[in-house]
Structure formats: structure tokens, C-alpha cells
Amino acid sequence: MKAKIKSTGKIIEVEPVYPINSNKCVYFIEANGTMWETDSIELLEHFRKERLAVATAALQGILANDRLVNLVDRYNGGIEKGVVKLAVSITDKLLDEIDKSSAKPLCPAKKGGNDAD
């Protein structure tokens, strides 16, 4: 499942970890083994719904353009397969860019001055 690290805003993929004889999740773990306490991340249960909404909008935009539909039909394996592949590709790229921008600090680090590192 998708989660956002509260301190950085970075989106990560995690799985819940349940203690023995408990049905309450107390940690989440990434594929690389990093453990996160439940209060340090925000689960993004709505991520799939948002992804579907973005893909739907991309699909509508593609289908509204006859020239694009014809190009997709001709060069990407037919209308159905090609349009779906293009919509998913657009969705992935858009969400990747959103993830990158949300992980950046709002203000650049201050250079010089009296601030200690």
C-alpha cells in the first residue's frame, strides 16, 4: 500500500507488520527493510481512486482528439490497447512528477549567514 512519510512528504510502498497474536498493526515495512512506526507515516488508501481519476481524465482527453486516436490506432496496436497504454503512461508520468515535487522542500536551504548545520 502507498504511504507518505510525514517528515518529508515522500511517497513509499509499505506493508503492515503485525506482532504475534495481535491483529493491530504497529509498524509498516518497505521492501528494502526500512521500518516505520504508524505515527510517522500517513497511509494513502485513496491513492488508487486518485490514480483512476487521473487515468480517466487522460483517457477522455485522448479520445476527444480524433487525430491522436488515429495515431494511437496506427502505431500502438489498435485503439483499445493503444489508448489504454497511453492513458496509463500519462498517468504514471504525471503522478511521478507530483511525487517528485512534493518531496522537495518548499524553500531552498539558506546559504551563508549565521545558521549552524
Residue pLDDT, tens place only, 12-41: 888 877 766 666 666 788 888 888 887 788
- Number of residues in the chain: 117
Q: Are residues 36 and 52 in the same domain?
A: no
37 occurs within a structural domain: yes
Query: Alpha helix (H) ranges present in the chain?
Result: 47-63, 66-75, 79-103
- What's the structural domain count of the chain? 2
User: What pLDDT, on the 0 to 100 scale, is given for residue 100?
Assistant: 67
Residue ranges making up the domain that contains 89: 48-102
Whether residue 17 contacts residue 27, with contact meaning beta carbons closer than 8 Å, is answered with yes
64 phi and psi angles, rounded to 5 deg: -75, -10
Percent share of the chain, pLDDT over 90: 6
Q: Are residues 31 and 52 in the same domain?
A: no
From residue 32, how far is each of 13, 28, 56, 78 by CA, in Å? Answer: 10, 12, 32, 39
Q: Are residues 34 and 12 in the same domain?
A: yes
78 occurs within a structural domain: yes
